[in-house]
Chain A
Amino acid sequence: MSAAAALQWRRPSVLPGFGLAFGYTVLYLSLIVLIPLSATFFKAFTLDWSAFWSTVTAPRVAASLRLTFGASLIAALLNAVFGLLVAWVLVRYRFAGRRMIDALVDLPFALPTAVAGIALTAVYAGNGWIGRLLEPIGIKVAFTPLGVIVALTFIGLPFVVRTVQPVLEDLEPELEEAAATLGANRWQTFRRVIFPAISPALLTGFTLAVARAVGEYGSVIFIAGNVPMVSEITPLLIITKLEQYDYAGATAIAVVMLVISFALLLLINFLQWWAGRRLAADR
């Protein structure tokens, strides 16, 4: 490669090690992530299109996709409401145990999903601590779609809190003071001043929670009961197909999930770019 071309591609620097660091990064990324992922797409292209389509639109797969997306959206919505509440309380108020609660919010990130799954099942089963209270009033959580929502709410909980929290911390108090001076009450200030400022972060956190929930497996399979057409999530269906040595079927469903995940990732990147631009415009 000529020196001139290299200079155009990379700005010169006195620091050493670019070649080694960059080369290793690209090699490792390719071997672990890019090549295996592309191989999956190539595998999908070798499938017969009509076979692909009939696999993906089979009633059992369609039902699982409906459940996975429906439950993910409801769980993320719950997390948007309660996550905003938790972030607000943690940033704005001082009370006993606040630091501990702040640290505890990350529990779903730290707790292995299988542990979360059996723990939630134990709590929400008919004889569990909470299930026992809900069953007499006719609410069954474990082994129903409602259980799927509970598990997905658990694992998505930190996303909204941790994206809204820093924005709420950085919010300038002058804005609220100005609103109060102009005669707004607290609710009006929240709705007209605070909420618009944090809404991009809230939306980002919501989308992150959806993205995580859609692919979740470990915490859901224990509490869901996994009844085909009723409480069977899409990732479980991939495993079922694999266990039946139906590699083509598993790949077809996996590709659908990958495409959806990448679309959500693009959306998240766009939301963050938008939020960053709004933040820059405010300053």
Chain B
Amino acid sequence: METPTALQNILYMPRTSTTTESNKTGSWRFLRPRYEEKTSPCSVACPAGEDIARIEMLITQGAFKEAWETILLENPLPGVCGRVCYHPCEGRCNRREFDAAVAIHTMERFLADAAARNETKPALPLQPATGRRIAIIGSGPAGLSAAWFLNILGYETEIFEAMPAAGGMLRWGIPAYRLPEAVLNAEIARIEAQGVRIRTGEAVSATRFEEMLKSYDALFIGCGYWRDRPLDIPGAAGPGVEDGISFLREIRGGVKRDVPGVSAVIGGGNTAIDVARSIVRRGGKAVIVYRRRREDMPAFTEEVQSAGEEGVEIRELLAPVRIDAAGGDCVLTLQPMAIAGQDRDGRGKIVAAADAPVMITVQRIFTATGAGAAAPWHTPPVPGAPEAIRGLSHCVLVQDDRGAPVVYGGDLTTADKNVTQAIASGKQAALALDILFRHGAGAMRDRLASCLVGGGPSLSLEIYLNGPRRERNAHIVAYEEINADYFQYEPRVVQPRLLIEERHSSFDEIDLKISAHTAMREAGRCFNCGICNGCDNCYLFCPDVSILRSRDMTDRHIDYDYCKGCGLCVVECPRNAMTLDEEGTP
């Protein structure tokens, strides 16, 4: 046998201790990856423009306070909105294409409840005092929102509220089973603690308003729609006919009146549903009578569904024609309607059907067919006419020779009358006034446009204050841009609720609390569309070790000396927080 030679075991192997860094492989690159955060569809759908993708990310990390503060920067009322907002965010959630939308509203409520329970004090980027005083008329969601944002922006704010307690519709219109009083009180207390002054029991008359135009630097009018629009049919003013808003206010005011027997509720909006469900809780049976179809109801779908669960009957395509008193009862005559084509708003157009009128006998009738402003001076002048009247998406800004500039907001000016739109209008008013004072009316359009979330219509205070969110691309991340390989099917959190039987006898909140563990798991379902959550896929997949991380792991950047532009990082980014451009693209 020959002598084994290689077995001397000194392998002849190439190796080097010289760095290969002299070989700047970045020069091979013709595609250039970069970190570029984009806009999540939920945040665009949110009328308050909340940074939802980031909020969910912070929840996942257990940073509940920071998540809550992230909401507060865009919305002063997370405890309210987590309960009563119709959460359009979830309707645009990319996760719907995968399994089911993230329960964003449940997360929002969880954060607010956690903050209230721990009596957390938010740390927000309060701006230096401007020395200007602004009066806000009405302490509903629009007024509270305007005061909150103006306060952050350095204005002294004073809210005038006619009722003995603040909150507007939140306190007097929305039933307690949807929004418990303690939750509202906690939110208002926090707003006051930040420096907003609320003067309750101080109704502002038209005369007082004129005086205030002289004594404040600006005014915000958010008085809401408090006057019930009466039915224009024979017998509408007769006995047994009440208006729904007053009924709701009476209950929130503590009056314990039973409404036995059958009550008819006329209307299809949220007020009609609230009235009907309150009747159920007061020992009665409720029949909602609506002239269009169930699917045409402006009320939130989930509310309509809950009403059905609780035994509220909905009779559709019936228009009230007359009301007759009959021995303490009411006879409601209804004209059957039929669908004929489409209305301008896309709903079915209705016409009287050939069928004979229907008559139902009920113990009383509540009207909930819409509301209007309570006083003529609440109504904003029609925009566009004189130069001094500026119509914004959610507000009307008037600057004339009467005195200080006035912004009309909330239900008075929003197209959709609901809490979150009112908050959006309060925010728009605050930003508009700040721009007016700092940069003049001429800068209004561009400055507001630069703060839109993903092209609008929602505005972001964080963007206005030049926070990190300003760096984001307005591009709205689509589901196709999510690398779904990195996500697993995970059922959406099931909201624990009161039993139907329990709901019949009390105004206790229906939706119950979820644990922090459940919230973190649910938030973990969020794709965090468009934002970096530090998953480090880029770092792990880079074949050229060209992803550099800061010592505290919060910041990542690309070492272009060695990045060959293979694009793996961009492809493997699960959430489209990176972009790949051709070299030389500006």
Chain A bound to chain B: no
Show the binding face of A for B, using Cβ within 8 Å: none
